[in-house]
Structure formats: structure tokens, C-alpha cells
Chain A
Amino acid sequence: MNSYHAIGRNSYLDAARSFFKSLLETGEVQSLLVPLRQDRTNDIMPTLVSDPEDTDKADPFSPSFPLNSAKLVSRLTRKKNRKRVAVFLRPCEIRAVVELVKLKQADMENLVIISSDCFSAFPNSVFNTGFREKGEEFTNEYISARMSASFTDDYNGSISEACRICTDPFPGIADIVINPDHSDAKQVTVESKSDAGGHILAQMGLDEAEPPKDGKEKRKKVMEELGRNREETFQSIQEQTADLEKLGVFFSSCVNCYNCRVACPVCYCRECVFNTDVFDHEPLQYINRSQTRGSLRMPSDTMFFHLTRMIHIGLSCVGCGQCANACPNDIPLSGLFMSVADKAQKGFDYTSGGSIEENHPLSCFFEDELNDVTGI
């Protein structure tokens, strides 16, 4: 199934752009959703491209990550549609798509997923102050720095917390993967990882190529480092949130803007329960609460909101870090949510976004398993 084809040499970005262009030219897919550098502002936003010429502004490897595109994939595929769409996604975005497919919010039928090893991303606030305006020059600089230094380069200080503790920066489920070559040959190849991917690559008439030099060692190293980071972060999160009081301190700057919920790719409800009349309390209730406790921090239900979200998305959390990215008050949500997700998913022996076939734990959970899972 896996075939390799050369798409260029030296410039990783140029090779990808030319690949995108010829992909659209084959007509195998009608459109391509890819991060695209916007005119004038240099913002890099996911853009649905239909004209092959527009692909020369594609900038998929930049550390800009303004939103998780899984939600956009949901919009493109949720209802039946005969047009075929290709999407370029980071591994964490693919995982979110897989979760949404299981939650019937997205569909893989007419979807072609293209991905690549992830170079990590900066928080919006970092990228937008100093890096955005440098344009694609910076992207090339960043790629080469990351590749040559085995992803442990000077940019580490700028990389977001979620990326530093990423569970898997290498694409699992995808149709086509653009492979960097770590050897001197600097050959850029694409790999078909599914029948659909293989079919498309065959239509494109690309030259067959040797598989890239084995990056296994490098990947292992990267995973080890991420693992170490995770352990450290989880440890510190655990200390920061050891009891309800500490958890309250952790969330003390939360203003109930619910941006984290909007940014979360697996928070899929059409309307959140926190926006419904369930939380539309009577005025008397606020006063009662205040009287019972002496004082009531407003807006109320903050902790309730975050705990509810942990329960709702803990099993599906893909660790993309968009919650933290979206927080106006810089609450380090990604570390907390990922540590909760880690425990929940281990409890059910489940990997979010790991495979379409694996049922969501709550769909196949039986009461006699409670003991095994919770240890109660």
C-alpha cells in the first residue's frame, strides 16, 4: 500500500506547494483546506483553496496555529456531500477529526487527509508579536532550524505548552504524508498511507522514490523528550491543583468567557449547556448562595464549568492546546486538561483519535467495569 514519490528537493515548503498545486490540477479533489498566508496581514489561516494557482501562498509548516481545523472539517463533511475535499492537518487536528467522526460530527467518506510530521506551534500571542510579520522567510528558517536540531532548537522557549508535552507529533491516520528527509539528499517525498491516497498519487504521475532514510531514531528521541516534558508538567499541574481550594486559585482569573470551549475541537455541542436556561438562575438563588457562604465570587459556576468540561471532553481531548491559546487571561489550561485526559484515557485503555474503529469508552462501558476503571 505504501508507495513513495519524490515531490522536490531542498525546500520543504516549495515542494509541498508544488504538490498541492498538482493535486488540485488532477481534479481528484475539488478543493484543498490548507493554512494559507493572507495578503497584507501575513496571518496564516486555514483556507479552502480551489484555484491551483493560489497554493503558492500555502504555509502549512509555520508555527502559527490560530485554531484547530477539525471543527472546519466538521463543517465541510457533517452533512452528505459528493464533492471530495483534501485537508492538510497537523496530527492533533487529525486526532480531533477522528473523535468527531466517532461523535458523528464529521465524515471521512469524501475526505482526503494530508499531513506531515509536526514542527510544533507557538501560542498566538507569541507568534503575533515578532514572527508573523517576518513572512514566509521565517517559516523556512524555522523548518531548517527545527530539522537540523532534532526539534530541540532555540525556539523551544517560544513553543506552546501543549506542543512541548505533545502525545504524538507524527501523523497516525492519514491518506498522504509529506515526509521530510533528514539525510543530506534533502529529497522531499510523499507517502501514500491508504488506498485512496495511493490512487491519488498514482493519478498525479509522480516519480517513484526510495523511502526516506529512516527517521525512526530521531522520532524515538523526540517522543522521549516529549515524555519527559509531560511528566514534569503533569507533576507541577498536580501540585498546583491538588485540592479544590488550589483548583480555585488556578481558575481564579477565569471570567466565564467560554473561549476555551469555543476553541476546543472536541467540544462539539451545538449549544453548550452553560448557555441554556439550566444555568439561568433566579436572582434569589445568587443571594441565597451568598448568604449561605458569606460571599459569592461572580461570575459564579466557574469551577463547575471547567469540571464539567473535563468530564465531557476528558476522553476525547487530543492535546492541541487551543484552550490555552484562546484564554484571554493566560490560564495554563492545556497542561491541566491534558493531565486529566491522560488519566481518563489510561483508565479506559483508550487513545483519543487513535482509530476510527475503537468505540468511544462511554458507548461501550458496562457498570461492572466501574471498579476496574475507577479503582473504587
Chain B
Amino acid sequence: MTEISSDALVVGGGISGIRSALDLAERGFSITLIEKEGYTGGMPAKLDHQFPTNGCGICRMLPMAERDSSEQFCLRRGLFHDRINVLLSTTLEELEGEAGGYKATLKRKNTFIDPGRCIGCGECARVCPVNALDEFNAGLCDRKAVFLPSPHAIPNTYVIDPDLCNLCSECVSVCPTSAITLPEDRKKEFSILVVDDELIVRDSLKEMFEFEGFSVSAAGSGQEALDLLEEGEFSLMLLDIKMPGMEGTEVLKRAKEKDTDLSVIMMTAYATVESAVETLKVGAHEYIVKPFDDEELIKMVYSVFNTMRTDDRETVELQTGAVILSCGTSYYTPDNEMDTFGWNTYPDVVTSIEFERILSGTGPFSGELKRPSDGGKPQKIAWLQCVGSRNLQTESEYCSSVCCMYALKEAMLVKNKFGSDIETTIYYMDMRCFVKDFERYRKDAEDCGVILKRARPHSVTLEQNGSLCVRISEASASLNEEHFDMVVLSVGQRPAFQTAELAEITGVELNEFGFPKDGIFENDGKKGVFVSGSFSGLKDISETMLYSSSASLRAAQVMKLPEKGMEPGRTGGNGTNQATARDVSMEEPVTAAVLCKCPSDSPEKAGFVESFCTTHPLIDDFSSVDGLCTAEGWNLLLETIKEKEFNRVLIFACLPCLFKGKLAELSEFTGLSECYLDFVDVSEMPEDLIEFQINTAVSKIRQARVPATRAVSVSKRVLVIGGGIAGMNAALSCSQAGIETVLVEKESELGGNLSWLHSNIDGTDFTDILEATKKEVEKNPLISVMKDSFVADTSGETGNFITIVRSDDQGDGETGHTIRHGAAVIATGSNEADVEEYRIGEHDAIMTTREYEEKKENGELNQDDLKTVVMIQCVQSRNMDRQYCSRVCCSSSIKQALALKDANPDKEIYILYRDIMTYGFSETYYKQAREKGIIFIRYTPDRPPRLDIKDDKVSVTVYESILESDIEIKTDALILASGMKPAPADELAEMFNIKQDDYGFILQGDVKWRPCDTTMDGIFVCGTAAGPRNVHESIASAQAAAQRALRIAGRDTLASSRITAQIKESLCSLCERCIDACPYSARMVDYDRRKIHINPALCQGCGSCAAVCPNSASYVSNLADQQFFNIIEAAV
């Protein structure tokens, strides 16, 4: 058993786990991240494209400050961070203790292959005789019992699935690096006792399991069996129930009395199934009904065998302060009896997950669009929405929130990548593009020819000619058929596998659908287990990011803050002491080369490398050692080079990425900076390529310069602008981490929109939440609240801003308060959009949602007077001016409607809508509303509802598409769901040099992967300032934004990375082109000193500045012109 200790345990290595782990690591905590699969990245590791960018942006999660602490690799290939310990194929088994001090027991699967030796050659898989479905490719193709868990991991090493491996040892004999050690065959020691009165059954079972390799005994009666049990040890008994003399049930009872550990599988005829079920209560492991399928029984026996084996797993104990559960979600498998779409029956009916793999370059068809049945290219593809969502029969009354968008994406990708002539049709109920930019995405999809049809197909059948017939009942109720080459089922989300077990182990609560509760509203601060990202269900990537950071923030609150001196910014990147390393750039280069003699390499190759190096004009010394990847080999290397005089070292070994950590050690040992040391792969390549590799590597280290790194000290304070629920939560979150916070509010009261919004659709009382939050903010000694105040000016950059805050009542003579802060959070929020249509203001009965809420609250409006109420959705949303869905109005209207209906069921309530956007769990309220008789009438923008005021009575006329006629409704109240517009933030945006979108919302750094970042590091955004959100989401985003801010404002210094832009001032003409080119606003002109200033903490080393600079006055450290020219010259 291994024991480790870490500040936090993150369960689940998908994107939410990575996000939570990186958040905490960036704040200086150490993390253990466990993942049950053999790869990190979760579902997005399987997706090549994500909406709405149609690309992949997973790397945008990588740290931007203190970049050197993490390898800058694609996160689909792996996560490498100094403070994150990743354990693959590992699960959480037990958890004891409380917040701040947990003991977790982990189970780590043994993969039987030494990852340090596996070179990923695939010989083992070639000879493996066992076939299994490839889960990574959604079962579209086969893999072996020895396989690559993902196609693109680094290092990509094979693993053995112990449940499938038959221990045939074929792989062991072909492995060139002897990386495989199979466990001993324990089947001989696993003895099975077969008890049946029928000889033929006994014999055939005995023969069958002996063939499998087990030792088998047989008994013809109960008594005989008991005698045998008396004599010897058995692991498993296969026991017939119906036997003359002693019945199986009696044998079981007596056998268990003697040996409680004995596993028993009951064999029963159909007539005695009931007694077989009873036996489970008295200790039988399982039962099987005769006549049975041999395979089924074999599987059962193996499952018993595998649980009794202990050599396939390792137990790890972990001391940890907090546990973050980020296990993601699973997806609906449409294989139950309700399935009328023929998945599993017709190969060309695939789920959306399967389709993603078909589109993927690493998928079963290498990215070619093919039909699984015949490999042909489909010309007509249909997507069926809401498969396993919004459906009572599949126990999913909720909306899965992501399927509309991924279907649009897949259809668009098909059009763009494989030909616009391919017909793509999406059958949907409501097209739920409820996120700010998604409405536009839908329009893009329609513009490129994706056909959207509002219809719910009820079945798919295969026609004679091989095409798939989709049967639809159209709105007009006549049965309709359409034919396609391929059908994609947009499957909905389900709780992650083992959610129930994890809930049992950790004590997190589950909702009625089995998803864990996220704890945003009910956070009591005592528990140390947090639900992160999409584990709580129904979230897209952007929301997953928010909820992951929110969980990591709350987790940090129960952990001990990193000790002084250990916090980030003090250790200087990845631990290597670059400062004391010898600068040898001015010395004449003396290069030593060392070849690792790998047992898998041919002696000819070693000979070639040796002769090439010894005659190379730029290599001064050559030596070789055996097996560098082993500890002995490594020590030998150190011995070898200790004796030599050199100032550059090249080591030729396979898998250079494995040696990244070793570079630091070698640097320490030699006293040379890492830039003068390099590992070069010369294995498995022809001779000219070896020459190429050696020549370029020599040139690279020859011209290297030790990069100048420097650290910027940080003003440890956060400025929060906007005192609504988001701003207050952001301020509280920062103060809870011990960081001073200044909260600026332009009004005289905190509270923002919650001052008029009193509850949400699930009945959460916002008045209480608001009061509690306000009180907490105002009594917190670390938060200074500045009311009636606004930001007048700001300057500086990430880590060090100087902002001037003025208050309204100060005279002109006042200069305002000067605040030094390291980061800022913008939470300026949103307002109700201005409504001009539907004759607002002409009649008291016509009002906006907010006006209705307010009138109801202050008693101006008596609900009892309202016999008929009409609500119109999408007023000032999804129109030409505001091409976005305001996200909250549908649930808000349904909330009002349900309240009215509950008060008096006789009220007539009409909701006129375009698409009902009750995403996620709020779908259940939409269903409730329909059940309660609230009438929903769909209108289209080209036929909007019309209004008439006659005899002081308001009436609304709307076209009803099923009746195909206009209907007129006389109403007592007309409530216009008015949508959201951003609060004015133009001046603020200009001052902070951040961008806004077309509507005035603050532009996010990356809508998907960095939803709380703005276009400038150090400035963050939360709540509705970034786009429409409900209160729950706003609070989560506030916590996430605070977490992002704390990773800057919570540290003493911000260190630059080894790879950052530098400037040769003597060459610089101050043309300022580099300033325009810098995407991170990391550069500015210092006019007084007449030079370009680079903020090393902001610079990401992208090299745009170096590209625009005509004379290389601007360059990136260790990637300078001369060095590169020499590398190129060595290469050609």
C-alpha cells in the first residue's frame, strides 16, 4: 500500500477535473487527480470540434501565469503540472474524516506494462488474440486486451485490460523492451465445485472450466458436495437448486455455515427462479436460469475470479483536505425496449457520440465520413433530437442542454468538411440555443444549408433499398416519411457511471434524476466534498468551466492555505534553480554527446551514431551508456559526464518527453542551464533522419542563451466593480481567501437586480439570500464597500493596477480614492431591455416582466383580478438588435404562470413563444405548466402576435399553426418577457482596455474555455455583465471569477516564464508595431525612457511581436533568429 498526502483530491480527469486541479495548483495547492480511464480529457478528448468555434480549444485551460509549472502540451494528450499528481486507471473506494482532514482509499488498476519502458510500438496488440469493443471509439471498432487507452496521449503507452487478458503471454515474448510482466496464472488455484444431479451437466461444466484453465471438482448430490467442501478449499461453487435428497438451498445454507467466504452461483430451472432469488439473501453471489448460455456463465465465473484476484490492483491511501468530484456525465444508450429508432439493429443509425468519433481524425474511419454499414459516403443525414431527453419514457424529464448545439455543429461540419451537397436535416422540438452567441450559430448553420424541421419522429425503419425511413408526425398530424442514408440520434446526458456509489462513499446528495447537487445555494461550508463541473449534470463546456472553478474555490476554503514560502511565485517555476546556473553563452561551445544504448536498438545503429558523432566538427566528445531509462543507467550517465570538460550536453535516447523531469536533475548536477542540455530521439529512424536530428540539436544548444526571467511583485488586493449578487459573491470569495477586496457600487444600495427579483422557478427565496449576502459583505473586515461610487480612471497591468474610484457626492476638487490592486472583477450586470413594442405604456394591463414582479410585490396589482393572462416571449430578444436569447425569460414566465395557476386553477394563462428555452432541469416546470393547463402557443417572427385595445380591454391575436387560423384572446394582463441588456460598461471597458461584444456585454477571453476571463489578463468578468445568466449561474461565475483573480492577487510575485519576449533596445526603432501585434496586451511604450516595456507576467511567448519586428529587435528568449537560422541550416 502506498501512502501519499495532498491538499486536495480531484476525482475525475475530464475537463472539469483538469480545470479544478489547475485552479488549485495555480494557487499553490498540491493536487492528486485520479481518473478511472487510462487517459485524461474526458469527453472532449474524443471531440475534434466544439461549438461554437468548430475547433478545439482545450489548451486554453493551461495556466497563463507561471506557465513553466506546466508542460504546454495539448490537454487532450495529457496533463503535466508540477503540483498535480495524475493517477490514471484509479478510483475512489473509501472516504473517512471531515473537511480539512480526509483519508481516502484509492484503487489503482495494475496495467501490467511498465510505462517507463513501453515505447508504444504496438507489437503486443498485433499478437494479442483477445478482441473487445473499443470504448474510446464508442464501440465502432475493435481493440485488443492490450491496447492504447487513447490514440493521442503523451507518452502513449499500452495497457492490459486484466478483465479480458487470458494470460497467454504472446505479448510478453514480442515486447522489444521487456515492458510487460503478466501476473501469474492464478486460475489453477481457483477451484470450482460443480454440484448437479445430472451427469451430463456436471461433465460439460467440468470440461468447460477446465478448458478455461480452472481446477474443477464435481459432486452429484448435496451430501457429496458438503463432503468435498469438508475435505478441501474451494473458491466457487456452482450449485443446482432442484436435486433429489438435499435441495440446493439447504446445501447453500450448510456450506455458508462452514465457509462464509465461499462464493456460490445458483443454477435454477425456470420453475424455481423465486427460490433462487431468495438464495441471494442468504449468501449466494448470483444465479443463472437453465438452460443458460455458456458464455454468460463463463463471464459470471470470471467476474468472481477477478474480484478475488488482488494482483490486478494496488491500494493507495491518501491524506487530503478536500475532495472534488468531477466525474462528468455519461450519455443515454438507446438500447432499451422503448427504442423505436433501430440503434443496435441498423448499423447506420448511430448515436451522436458515435458520430463524433466517425468525424474524428483519430476515429475508426480516420476522419472520413462513412456509413458504418457499407463504408459508403452518406448523401442525406438526419439528426433526431431529444433522444433520452425531455422524455418520460426514458426517465429523463429534463433537457440535456447541449444536444441542439452539438447537432448543429455536426451538421455544419458535415457540410463544411465533406461537401455542401450533403443534405443535413435536424428534427427538433425546440431549438435551444440559449447561450449568448448560440442564436447566431444557429443562423450560421441555416445559412450554410442545414435544414431544421420542428417535428418529433417516432420511428426509424430500414427500407428494401438500404435507406432509412424516418417517420414523423408533423404538426398538421398527417403521417410523414422521409428517407436518409444515415440517422444520428442526439442522445441526452445521464449521471456519470458509478454516481450512486460515489454518492454513497462521499455523502453528496443526488437529485431525483440521480445527478449530484452542485451545492451553490446550499453551501454550508462544513462539508469538504464538492461537486465540480458537469458532474451535476446538463452543462456545456463553458458552464463546466464555471462550475469547476466554483467548486475549486469552495474547496480551497476548507483547505489550509499553502505555507509561506511554498506559495506560487516563490519557487520560481518548476523548481530548477536557473538563477545560479552557469551562463556559458560567451564561452566557446564544447559539446558532449551521450548515446543511450537501448536493448531494442540494433548495434549497427549505435555504431552509426558513434561514427557520425566522433567525426562531427561540432561535437567534442562522445560516450555511451546502457539503459538510461533505468536508475542504474541514469547513475552511470552522471558518472560518465562528471569526468568530462564541456559546456553543452546532448543525450540520445528514445521518448525525450519522458526525460523532461530529468533535465532539471541534470541541470542541477552539471551546473548548466537547461537550455544547454537536450534529449534527442534517434530511435526508429533512417540514418539521414538521425543526422538531421543530431545536426539540428547541436545547432540549437550551441547558440542558446540563458533566458532572463524576472518576477513582478503583486498588489494583493482585488477590485470588484458592481455590487449585485455576482459582485458580492466575488468579493466574499476573495476575502475568504484572506485577500483584501474593494467593492464598488454605483447605487446607494447593494443588491442589483435581486432588489426586485424575489425568487426563481424552483422556489429559492432570493430575498433571504440577498439579505444574508449583504450582511456578510458588510460585516467582513477585508471588504471595503464603496457605494455611490464609480471607477474614474485606471492604469497598470496584471498584478499591479492603480485605479481611482470617485463617489458621486464628492465635489470636483476631490481626487477620489486610489486603489492598488492585483486583479479586478467586473460584475456590472445587466438591466431589463427597453421595450417599445406591443404598445407598452398605453394601457395599465400591458407591462414587462420586471414591472409585473414589482407591481405584484408592492400590491399595485391584485392577482385575483387576473382571470386571463397572456405572456409574450422573446420581446427584445432574438431580434435584429439583440441576436441572442436572454436565457431566463422562459423559466421566468413559466414561474409566474405556475404561481397564478396555483393560486386559482381556473385562470386562463397563455404563453406565446418561439422556442421554449427551459434548458436543464427547469424543463420539468415546463412539463408541469402544460399539465396544469397553461396554454403554449408558438409564433414565428414573421407572424408576431397583434394587439388591440378596445373599450379599455386588451386583446391579443395570434396565429395558431395547428388550427391554421388566428385566435383572439381578451386578456386582463399582458406580460412582455423583456429580455436582458448589459448595463452600460463602455467607459469601464475602455479604461481597462478590454473588449465588448456587439451588444455591449464584456467579451470573454474564450467563450468556451475561459468564460470568466476578459481579453486582458488580470481583469475578470462574472454575472450577467458577460451575457444572460440566471442567479445560480451568476453566483457560480462569481466564484469562478474570484478563483481566477486569486491566482494573481493571491500571490506575492508573478514570475515570468523561460519563454517570453525580449527586446534589444539598441536595435529598436520604436515603430510600435509589436504593440499592435501583441494579442495579450503585454507591451507598451515607455515614452519617457523611449523604449518598449514588456510585462513578463502577461507575455505568453507567442512570438507575434518577433514576427512583425523587421530587424529582430523584438525576439523570444531562446528562440532567437541566429539560433533558428542555424537550426534550419543544419536541417537542409
Contact = CB atoms under 8 A, between A and B. Distances in A.
B1071 A103 contact: yes
Contacts of A268: 1069, 1071
Contacts of A269: 1067, 1069, 1110-1111, 1113
A213 interface: no
B1076 A284 contact: no
B1124 to A, nearest CB: 9
Nearest to B1067: A271
Nearest to B1129: A285
A276 B1069 CA distance: 15
Given A105-B1071, A268-B1071, A278-B1125, A273 B1076 contact: no
A359 B1125 CA distance: 31
B1070 A273 contact: no
B1006 interface: no
A273 B1070 CA distance: 15
Contact of A363 (B1067, B1073, B1121): B1073
A83 interface: no
A364 B1073 CA distance: 10
A312 B1122 contact: no
B15 to A, nearest CB: 25
Interface residues of B, number: 23
A104 interface: yes
Nearest to A282: B1126
A284 B617 contact: yes
A359 B1069 CA distance: 18
A268, A270, A288 interface centre (most CB from chain B within 10 Å): A270
Interface string B354-365: 000000000000
Question: Could you tell me the dominant secondary structure of chain A's interface residues?
Answer: loop
Contacts of B1125: 278
B755 interface: no
Contacts of B1120: 278
A362 B1072 contact: no
B179 interface: no
A332 to B, nearest CB: 24
Nearest to A288: B1129
Interface string B1064-1078: 001111111100110
A364 B1129 contact: no
A278, A288, A359 interface centre (most CB from chain B within 10 Å): A278
B717 to A, nearest CB: 35
A277 B617 contact: no
A104 B1111 CA distance: 16
A362 B1073 contact: yes
A306 interface: no
A360 interface: yes
Contacts of B1111: 269-273, 276
B1073 A277 contact: no
A270 B617 CA distance: 36
B615 to A, nearest CB: 14
A103 B1111 CA distance: 14
B1108 A362 contact: yes
B1071 A271 contact: no
A289 B1132 CA distance: 10
B1072 A104 contact: yes
B1112 interface: yes
B1129 A363 contact: no
Contacts of B1071: 103-105, 268
Contacts of A362: 1073, 1076-1077, 1108
Contacts of A360: 1073, 1076
Nearest to B1065: A270
B1122 A270 contact: no
A270 B1069 contact: yes
Contacts of B618: 284
A276 B1067 contact: yes
Given A271-B1067, A285-B1129, A363 B1112 contact: no
B1129 A276 contact: no
Interface in B1044-1079: 1066-1073, 1076-1077
A277 B1069 contact: no
Interface in A246-289: 268-273, 276-278, 284-285, 288-289
Interface in B1100-1122: 1108, 1110-1113, 1120-1122
Nearest to A308: B1110
Contacts of B1073: 103, 360, 362-363
Contact of B1070 (A104, A285, A288): A104
B1117 to A, nearest CB: 15
Contacts of B1068: 270
A270 B1108 contact: no
A271 B1076 CA distance: 21
Nearest to B1110: A312
A357 B335 CA distance: 64
B1122 A277 contact: yes
Given A105-B1071, A278-B1122, A271 B1077 contact: no
Interface in A321-362: 359-360, 362
A288 B695 CA distance: 12
Nearest to A365: B1077
Nearest to A284: B617
Contacts of A105: 1069, 1071
A268 B1109 CA distance: 11
A278 B1121 contact: yes
Contact of B1066 (A271, A272, A288, A359): A271
A16 to B, nearest CB: 34
A275 to B, nearest CB: 9
A285 B1130 CA distance: 9
A363 B1076 contact: yes
Nearest to A287: B617
A83 B1122 CA distance: 43
A363 B1077 contact: yes
Contacts of B1113: 269-270
A316 to B, nearest CB: 10
A360 B1076 CA distance: 10
Contacts of B1110: 269, 273, 312
Nearest to B1132: A292
A343 to B, nearest CB: 19
Given A103-B1071, A284-B617, A289 B1108 contact: no
Contacts of A272: 1111
A271 B1071 CA distance: 13
Interface string B908-941: 0000000000000000000000000000000000
B1068, B1077, B1110, B1113 interface centre (most CB from chain A within 10 Å): B1110
Interface in B606-640: 617-618
A269, A277, A362 interface centre (most CB from chain B within 10 Å): A269
Contacts of A289: 1129
Nearest to B1070: A104
Contacts of B1129: 285, 288-289
Nearest to B1064: A276
B182 to A, nearest CB: 50
Contacts of B1121: 273, 278
A364 B1075 CA distance: 11
Interface string B754-798: 000000000000000000000000000000000000000000000
List the 7 shortest-distance A-B pairs measured between CB atoms, nearest first: A363-B1076, A273-B1111, A269-B1111, A103-B1071, A312-B1110, A278-B1121, A270-B1069
Interface of A: 103-105, 268-273, 276-278, 284-285, 288-289, 312, 359-360, 362-364
21 contacts: A103-B1069, A103-B1071, A103-B1073, A104-B1070, A104-B1072, A268-B1069, A269-B1111, A270-B1068, A270-B1113, A272-B1111, A273-B1067, A273-B1112, A273-B1121, A276-B1111, A278-B1125, A284-B617, A285-B1129, A362-B1073, A363-B1073, A363-B1108, A364-B1076
Given A268-B1071, A271-B1111, A363-B1108, 14 more contacts: A105-B1071, A269-B1067, A269-B1069, A270-B1111, A270-B1113, A273-B1110, A273-B1111, A277-B1122, A278-B1120, A288-B1129, A360-B1076, A362-B1073, A362-B1108, A363-B1076
